[in-house]
Amino acid sequence: MPAQKFSAKAHTRSNYTYSTFHKSLLHENNSEDYALRHIYSLENTKALLQAWGWTTEQIKDGIDYATIDVYRNFVYLHIPNKITKRGEIIKIRGISRFISKADFVEVLISRSWQKADPYKLQPGDNWDDLIARGNTGDFYEIKLYKHEVECTCHAYSGLEKAFAQDPVATKYLMLHYQAQGQIPDKHIFAAWQYLGATTLQQYEYCWLERAEAAMREQKKYSWQSDPEPERDTELIDW
Ligand SMILES: [Zn+2]
């Protein structure tokens, strides 16, 4: 039985010659095609087409015929304007253009931001922990660090590996006004929203406030649990 194909047809057409960089993103084990699956996905491509004024119907007609070729510095997207369906030639809306990787990073971040749900979070054991509840009763741990947030879910580690495979996409992630290098996992954006932050800079401010509050709390607690000042027991004993 052939291994399950994780990568979209748009990334693996046999009648098209992909760029050298694209080929470097394709792995023997498809599940390791992290950049193609997480950044240059069909879903992100559909969102881009929609942003460019394509109707849902036009996207539906064309997306199965798309070729997405990822170069080192940009992406080439092709959808033919004629397709053959049941032996008939049909005209559809086509496209043939280069796209900035910044556009893919932007759409990835905004889709992730929209999917983020702070109401699915609950406090963890420590002030710098949050717990995200999945739909199937599973739990993910969200760890709040001073300059970034990490999550234990699969999407987070997949996105992390995706950006590690693509230095130019990483550059745009660093330059993005909102993410500023933060891996854009939906649980992490949920944590930002939970804390009241929209950008990494605001998150860092919220983190500091949270850290200080936790410290004050700890001091108060240690003060309260201090034993009574000791009498001069030596005198009593003697
Ligand atoms: Zn996550």
In three state form, how does the secondary structure of the chain look? Answer: CCCCCCCCHHHCCCCCCCCHHHHHHCCCCHHHCHHHHHCCCHHHHHHHHHHCCCCHHHHHHHHHHCEEEECCCEEEEEECCEEEECCEEEECCCEEEEEEHHHHHHHHHHHHHHHCCHHHEEECCCCCEEEEECCCCCEEEEEECCCCEEECCHHHHHHHHHHHCCHHHHHHHHHCCCCCCCCCCHHHHHHHHHHCCCCHHHHHHHHHHHHHHHHHHHHHHHHHCCCCCCCCHHHHHC
Q: Distance from the CA of 82 to the center of ligand 1, in angstroms?
A: 40
Residue 235 pLDDT exceeds 70: no
Compute φ and ψ for 49, nearest 5 degrees: -60, -40
- Asked if residue 100 lies in contact with residue 169, where contact means CB atoms within 8 angstroms, the answer is no
* Residue 238, pLDDT score: 46
Task: Report how far ligand 1's centroid is from the alpha carbon of 131 (Å).
Answer: 10
Residue 154 alpha carbon to ligand 1 centre in Å: 7
Mean pLDDT for 90-115 is: 97
Q: Is the pLDDT assigned to residue 32 strictly greater than 60?
A: yes
Distance 184 CA to ligand 1 centre (A): 9
First to last CA, the chain: 87
Q: Give CA separation, 22 vs 12, 25, 27, in Å.
A: 10, 5, 10
Map out the domains of the chain as residue ranges: 9-106, 116-224
Dihedral angle of Cα 5, 155, 120, 129, to the nearest 10 degrees: 150
Q: How far apart are CA 16 and CA 19, in angstroms?
A: 10
Q: Which band of pLDDT confidence, cut at 50, 70 and 90, is reported for residue 230? A: low
Instruction: Tell me: pLDDT of 94 over 80.
Output: yes
As a whole number of angstroms, the distance between CA 150 and CA 148 comes to 7
209 CA distance to ligand 1 centroid (A)? 23
On whether the CB atoms of residues 39 and 108 are closer than 8 A, the answer is yes
Identify the residue whose tokens are 């993910």.
140
Backbone angles phi, psi at 109, to 5 degrees: -65, -45
Q: How far is the CA of 189 from the centre of ligand 1 (A)?
A: 9
pLDDT digits (tens, 9 = 90+) for 165-193: 999 999 999 999 999 999 999 999 999 99
Q: Are 186 and 116 in contact (CB under 8 A)?
A: yes
Average the pLDDT over 152-165 and give the result: 97
Residue 82, sorted as left (phi over 0), alpha (psi -120 to 50) or beta, turns out to be beta
Question: What angle (nearest 5°) sits at the alpha carbon of residue 120, between those of residues 221 and 47?
Answer: 135
Which of 15, 121, 150, 120 shows the shortest CA–CA distance to 69? 15
Residues 48-57: what's their mean pLDDT?
A: 98
